Amino acid sequence: MTDASTRDKLIDAAMRLFHEQGYAATGVATILREAGVNSGSMYYFFPTKEALLHGVLDKYETLLWPVVLQPAFDATQDPVERIFAVMAGYRQGLEMTSCGMGCPIGNLALEMSDTYPDVRTHLAKLFGMWCEGIRKCLDEASGALRADVDRESLAEFVLSVMEGAMMQARARRELGAFDRSIAHLRAYFETLRVER
């Protein structure tokens, strides 16, 4: 087994377990067992569990475009519809898990709070990258949106709606709350369009 594959196995196992169980509830022994590596290998790459979490967050950074944004951008040329294609991707994730697992970044943000300031900063960076992707759609749609639309804060609002909708779907174990939230977001977008 190469060093790179050992490191990847640790990150992949931790990524899945942190999403399924949460950070605090996931023990190092469980990560090692799921990754199929020994403790010496883990501590060679990650001296602490928190360091492994940063490795997981680094991987989320690399996956944001190809896994979350690119499919939505490929699905349609309409920049506003791309935003709703991103939402549809999250909805599909909820559906696949029977609303059992939400956004992994959102889950970690809620769990980590201020206990781990370096992790919080890393999570904020990921949310910022997500907002940049949505902002790109809004910039491309600028001709269709009113001139007074603050596209940066609108991108943050879209993120807030998506995260809140996912949390409600998880709490209720049904997609209705998610769908209603996204429907309201779509209706709000209609109020922002240039009148024809």
CATH of the domain at 119: 1.10.357.10
Give yes or no for a contact between 126 and 113, defined as CB atoms under 8 angstroms apart: no
Give how far Cα 134 sits from Cα of 70, 72, 163, Å. Answer: 12, 11, 14
Q: Are residues 60 and 8 in the same domain?
A: no
Give how far Cα 3 sits from Cα of 16, 52, 127, Å. Answer: 20, 15, 30
Measured distance between the N- and C-terminal CA atoms of the chain, rounded to whole angstroms: 62
Q: Are residues 148 and 188 in the same domain?
A: yes
Q: Count the Cβ atoms, other than its own, within 10 Å of residue 6.
A: 18
Which residues span the domain enclosing 15? Answer: 1-47
Mind listing the pLDDT tens digit for each residue in 38-97?
A: 999 999 999 999 999 999 999 999 999 999 999 999 999 999 999 999 999 999 999 999
Q: Are residues 85 and 148 in the same domain?
A: yes
Q: Are residues 112 and 166 in the same domain?
A: yes
Q: Are residues 119 and 158 in the same domain?
A: yes
Q: Are residues 71 and 130 in the same domain?
A: yes
Q: Are residues 41 and 61 in the same domain?
A: no
Domain count, the chain: 2
The position carrying tokens 């990847």 is 8
* pLDDT interval class at 153 (50, 70, 90): very high
Give yes or no for a contact between 127 and 176, defined as CB atoms under 8 angstroms apart: no
Q: Are residues 186 and 95 in the same domain?
A: yes
CATH of the domain at 3: 1.10.10.60
- CA 135 – CA 151 distance, rounded (Å): 6
3-class DSSP assignment, residue 163: helix
What burial class does residue 45 get, using C-beta atoms within 10 Å of its C-beta: 0-12 exposed, 13-18 middle, 19+ buried? middle
Residue 157 has a pLDDT of: 98
- CA 31 – CA 11 distance, rounded (Å): 9
Give yes or no for a contact between 106 and 41, defined as CB atoms under 8 angstroms apart: no
Structure tokens at 8: 């990847």
Q: What percent of the chain has pLDDT over 90?
A: 91
Q: Are residues 83 and 14 in the same domain?
A: no
pLDDT of 19 > 90? The answer is yes
Mind listing the pLDDT tens digit for each residue in 109-152?
A: 999 877 889 999 999 999 999 999 999 999 999 899 999 999 99
Q: Please tell me what DSSP assigns to residue 69.
A: I
